């Protein structure tokens, strides 16, 4: 079973979980925000989309580095 880093990173770092297929790198997935139109986009939706873009544009502490993944 594949789980995203943000769910399992604390357990991998603590040693409660171990990665089994250390040479396997799953394909990266993208996050998409879908909304009907930019023309009438509410300030709330625009703010949330901007938040998502900023939050996921930089490296997060929940992303496992190869050294951590290999254990």
Sign of CA dihedral 55, 60, 66, 69: negative
Query: For residue range 15-58, what is the model confidence (pLDDT) as tens digits?
Result: 999 888 878 877 777 777 787 777 788 889 889 888 888 877 76
Question: What percent helix, strand, coil does the chain show, rounded to 5?
Answer: 40, 0, 60
Q: Give me the pLDDT at residue 60, please.
A: 64
Q: Give me the pLDDT at residue 41, please.
A: 82
Q: Tell whether pTM > 0.75.
A: no
Q: Give me the pLDDT at residue 3, please.
A: 84
Which are the contacts of 8, defined by CB distance < 8 A and separation ≥ 6?
Answer: 17, 64
Which are the contacts of 45, defined by CB distance < 8 A and separation ≥ 6?
Answer: 35
Q: How far is it, in rounded angstroms, from Cα 71 to Cα 62?
A: 16
Q: Give me the pLDDT at residue 34, please.
A: 82
pLDDT of residue 69 exceeding 50 = no
């Amino acid at each position: 079973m594949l789980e995203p880093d943000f769910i399992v990173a604390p357990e991998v770092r603590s040693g409660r979980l171990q990665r089994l297929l250390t040479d396997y790198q799953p394909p990266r997935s993208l996050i998409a925000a879908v909304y009907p139109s930019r023309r009438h986009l509410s300030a709330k939706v625009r703010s949330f989309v901007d938040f998502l873009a900023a939050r996921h544009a930089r490296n997060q502490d929940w992303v496992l580095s190869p050294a951590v993944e290999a254990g």
